[in-house]
Amino acid sequence: MAKFTAGGVKHTIKKTKKGDVVVDHPKSAKAGKNDKINLTKKAGAKTVKAGERATRAWHRKNPHEGGK
Mind listing the pLDDT tens digit for each residue in 15-61?
999 999 999 987 665 656 668 899 999 999 999 999 999 999 999 99
Residue 68's pLDDT band, with cuts at 50, 70 and 90, is: very low
Query: Is the pLDDT at 63 greater than 90, yes or no?
Result: no
Helix (H, G, I), strand (E, B) or coil at 17: coil
Task: Kindly state the percentage of the chain with pLDDT values over 90.
Answer: 60
Helix (H, G, I), strand (E, B) or coil at 10: strand
